[in-house]
Amino acid sequence: MTTSSRIAVTGIGVVAPGAIGVDAFRATLYAGVSCAVEIDRFDTSAMRSHRAALLRDFKAKDFIPMMKLRRMNNLSRMGLAAATMAIADARLEGAGFARPEVGVAIGTAFGPVQTSIEYLREYMEKGAALAPPQLFAESVANAPGSHVAIEHGFEGFNVTFTQRESSAMTALMFACGQMLKGTASAAICGGIDEMNELLYSVLDRIGALAHARNGEDEVGRPFDARRNGTLVGEGSAALVLERPGALRGDPWALVSGFGIAKDATATISDWGTDSGAVVRAVRASLDDAGIAPDDVDAVWASANGSVNGDRLEARALRELFGDNCPPVVATKGMFGEYAAGGGIQLASAAVALRDQRLPASVGFERAEEGAVLPVTRASTPAGVKHILVNSISAGGGIVSAVLSRSDLG
């Protein structure tokens, strides 16, 4: 993107573990404490893992009228609440925007799995005639995005992406592309996922989750030598995007560039070994933003505690930056992984650009031999102009973006 075509992030809404709303999110982000808690929704006694980053204090009725609330599943409630907060933060309502020019792009790794389970249970027990039709309507992945558009009257593009860990970043890339083409003047973009027993038990069975081992507690440890799996998170984060022009205040950040690539060595359920593919995506995002590697002031890593995924990204960052790698931030040890984590990752980078502060990478203490990176250990003030945000998904999808300080537009 050229300087004149950067997309502004003008609003942020967050429904995250330990943080409802952007102000609470900022406080939690810089507190440097994991949001993981013991799971009490279902029995994990037969599993190796027992913790997740769960929502505890979210009250959907604070954001959605009760009559509408009853027609939504939990995923839609989280998505609509986050979008409504972002719209209020951006002062988008009543701003004179033509509703046909506002689009919605949402990313979700797994969508409404729990709703599908509930509908199929009703179908099998009662038959098709008595299975609740509203459950079926809410069982599709684009239900949250549809609710956002219906509630706020947005008539532009409305799409939902399921690209594993990269779902939210893919949604952001699409939305920015449409806005640069002129098909929309503004967009709501973000990531959303919920944790449920089926998802958790499958991830536990295949050994993807962080677990206690060798006297070490069950902790998500991005980039740490002791890591043994991912911390699962849930929630939603939404961004309001606008084309630069008649903005009503100081944006949180600017989206300056994107790069995308495919690691062909990856299997369908794991990360591959082609660090060159990651480097290509990163270089493409830097070229799109019109900056060089030396201009990157911080990296928001995709690292989530998976052995192969973290190792792949660490190798790519060393190849790209050599001994001059900027500070590396990994937020998924705090808020968890999947599309909500991707949306929260983006929101945290935008917040850091305005606050000029880097958060700690919760869970990181000791680097793996041969994979030393300047991973942040504490929250510190920092002069940050450009942040590289990586999203690398199992299966080989890679999306990189550059977020820039708002006064650089």
Same domain, 269 and 233: no
pTM over 0.85: yes
Longest dimension (CA), the chain: 65
Last residue of a domain, one of 213, 242, 271: 242
Low-confidence ranges of the chain (pLDDT < 70): 1-4, 94-98, 245-249, 409
Q: How distant, in Å, are the alpha carbons of 9, 91, 246 from that of 249? A: 11, 9, 9
- Looking at the fold, whether 260 and 237 belong to one and the same domain comes out as no
**Whether residue 190 is found in the same domain as residue 323:** no
User: Is 82 within 8 Å of 14 (Cβ atoms)?
Assistant: yes
pLDDT at residue 97, rounded to an integer: 61
pLDDT score at 1: 54
The torsion angles phi and psi of 392, rounded to 5 degrees, stand at: -120, 120
Domain end among 242, 277, 292: 242
Q: Is residue 101, in this structure, part of any structural domain at all?
A: yes
Q: Which helix (H) or strand (E) holds 237?
A: strand 235-242
Co-location of 91 and 169 in the same domain: yes
Residue 354 inside a domain? The answer is yes
Asked if 42 and 136 sit in the same domain, the reply is: yes
Task: Verify that 218 and 319 share a domain, yes or no.
Answer: no
How far apart are alpha carbons 208 and 309 in whole angstroms?
11
CATH code, domain carrying 73: 3.40.47.10
Please tell me the predicted confidence (pLDDT) of residue 94: 64
Assigned domain for 262 exists: yes
Per-residue pLDDT, 249: 67
Q: Which two tokens stand for residue 194?
A: 């919920």
Tokens at residue 294, please?
A: 């030396």
197, part of any domain: yes
* Residue 247 resides in a domain: no
249: in domain: no
155 and 193 inside one domain: yes
User: Are residue 146 and residue 23 in the same domain, yes or no?
Assistant: yes
Question: Looking at the domain assignment, is residue 146 inside a domain?
Answer: yes
Instruction: Count CB atoms within 10 A of the CB of residue 371.
Output: 16
Strands of 278-396, DSSP E: 298-300, 328-329, 357-358, 380-381, 386-392
131 and 264 inside one domain: no
**Do residues 196 and 303 both lie within one domain?**
no
pLDDT of residue 120: 83
Vertex 260: Cα angle to 234 and 347 (nearest 5): 35
Domain count, the chain: 2
In terms of domains, do 213 and 109 share one? Answer: yes
Note down the domain range covering 178: 3-242
- Among 242, 264, 287, give the residue marking a domain's end: 242
Is residue 104 helix, strand or coil? strand
3-state secondary structure 238-260: EEEEECCCCCCCCCCEEEEEEEE
Note whether residue 106 is domain-resident: yes
Q: What is the pLDDT of residue 4?
A: 46
User: Is the same domain home to 226 and 355?
Assistant: no
